[in-house]
Amino acid sequence: MRKMPKYNQGRFTPKRPEKYVGNVNEIIFRSSWERKFLQWCDDNPGVIKYASEELIIPYYSPVDQRMRRYFVDFVIMVKTRTGEIKKFAVEIKPSAQCEPPKQTKKATKLQLLTTDSSASFMSSSV
């Protein structure tokens, strides 16, 4: 049996709970990167509000022909240096998960989704 990788998961307790949109007792992080992002949002004076997995995007899956729901990792509201208020949807992923899948001889469910989808992907590396 294959061992599952161990991830840094847990509950986040904000120092500034007034900035969090949602139940401050139920803030979950699923990786160390998500924990660091939560800390950044909490500490950064430019972040006015933030939420974790509060934005839900319904979508149709052609693989199993069912409606599904996608939970965006974070939504943040920031005040820019010019004073403008902007909102961002943020996904925390390692760069390996931001690349299109490699083609194999046998089609997988993920390949079917990416080849049938009209979505485009954007990524940035740090």
Q: Would you say residue 124 lies in a domain? A: no
- The domain in which residue 108 lies consists of 10-116
Residue 123 belongs to a domain:
no
Examine residue 2 and state whether it is found in any structural domain, yes or no: no
Asked, for residue 3, whether it belongs to a domain, the answer is: no
What is the maximal distance between C-alpha atoms in the chain?
55
- The verdict on residue 77 lying in a domain is yes
Residue 85 located in a structural domain: yes
Split into its structural domains, the chain has a count of: 1
Residues 109-121: tens digit of each pLDDT = 555 555 444 444 4
- 2-61 pLDDT, tens digit each: 555 566 899 999 999 999 999 999 999 999 999 999 999 999 999 999 999 999 999 999
**Full-model pTM:** 0.71
What stretch of H or E contains 98? Answer: none
